Chains A and B, each alone.
Chain A
Amino acid sequence: MNARLMWRKAVNAVMLSLTGVCTVLTVSTLFIILGYLLYNGGKSLDWNFFTKLPGAPGELGGGMANAIVGSMQIVALAALIGLPAGFLAGVYLSEFEDKTFASVVRYVADLLNGVPSIVVGIVAWALVVVPMKGFTALAGAIALAVMLIPIVTRQTEQFLREVPNSLREGALALGASKWRMIATVVVPAGSKGILTGMILGVARIAGESAPLLFTALGNQFWGGLTEPTASLPVMIYLRATSPYDDWHRQAWAAGLVLIALVLVANIAARLVLARGISVPRA
Chain B
Amino acid sequence: MATTTAVQPAVVRSPTQTGDVIARLVTLMFAGLVLLLAGLIVLELWRGSAPARMHLGWKFLFGSDWNPVTDEFGAAPFVYGTLVTSAVALLISVPLGLGAAIFLSELAPAGLSSGLTFLVELLAAVPSVIYGLLALFTVVPLTRLYVGPFLNKTLGFIPLFQGRSYGVGYLPAALVLAIMTFPFIISVSRESLLAVPREQREASLALGATKWETTWKVVVPYAKLGILGSIFLGLARALGETMAVTMVIGNAASIHASLLAPGATIAAVIANEFTEASGKIYSAALVELGLVLFGLTIIINGFARLMIIATTRKGSKRS
A-to-B contact residues, CB < 8 Å: 8-9, 11-12, 15-16, 18-23, 25-27, 29-30, 33, 36-37, 40, 85-86, 88-89, 91-97, 101-102, 104-105, 107-112, 114-123, 125-127, 146, 149-150, 153, 160-161, 163, 165, 168-169, 172, 175, 177-180, 182, 200, 203-204, 206-210, 213-214, 217, 233-234, 236-237, 240-241, 248, 251-252, 255, 258-259, 262-263, 266-267, 270, 281
Contact = CB atoms under 8 A, between A and B. Distances in A.
10 contacts: A16-B212, A29-B123, A29-B179, A30-B119, A33-B134, A175-B9, A208-B127, A213-B275, A233-B243, A262-B126
A92 to B, nearest CB: 4
B228 to A, nearest CB: 16
A225 to B, nearest CB: 20
A15 B216 contact: yes
Nearest to B272: A213
Interface string B237-248: 101111100110
Given A115-B297, A116-B240, A104 B35 contact: yes
Contacts of A206: 127
Contacts of B145: none
Given A114-B304, A200-B125, A270-B118, 10 more contacts: A11-B210, A19-B106, A88-B26, A97-B3, A111-B38, A123-B41, A179-B16, A179-B22, A208-B128, A255-B130
A33 B158 CA distance: 32
B215 to A, nearest CB: 8
Interface string B213-256: 10010000000000000000100110111110011000000000
B198 interface: no
Contacts of A104: 35
Contacts of B274: 121-122, 125, 213-214
B289 to A, nearest CB: 9
Q: Main secondary structure on chain B at its contact with chain A? A: helix
A236 B240 contact: no
B37 A207 contact: no
Nearest to A127: B44
Contacts of B98: 22
Contact of A209 (B17, B121, B122, B128): B128
Interface residues of B, number: 104
A119 B45 contact: yes
Instruction: Please list the 4 inter-chain residue pairs (A to B) with the smallest Cβ-Cβ separation, ordered nearest first.
Output: A207-B127, A116-B240, A22-B99, A92-B27
Given A123-B40, A165-B2, A263-B125, A37 B134 contact: yes
Interface string B161-202: 000000000000000000100111011100000000000000
Contacts of B87: none
Contacts of A258: 127, 129-130
B48 A126 contact: yes
B16 A177 contact: yes
A33 B133 contact: no
A16 B270 CA distance: 43
Contacts of B210: 8-9, 11-12
B107 interface: yes
Given A118-B270, A263-B122, A19 B2 contact: no
A18 B136 contact: no
Contact of B34 (A15, A95, A105, A281): A105
Interface in B33-56: 33-35, 37-38, 40-41, 44-45, 47-48
A240 B247 contact: yes
A99 to B, nearest CB: 9
A22 B103 contact: yes
A21 B270 CA distance: 38
Contact of A19 (B29, B107, B121): B107
B57 interface: no
A116 B44 CA distance: 15
A236 B129 contact: yes
Contact of B293 (A26, A102, A119, A241): A119
B28 interface: yes
Interface in B291-309: 293-294, 297-298, 301-302, 304-305
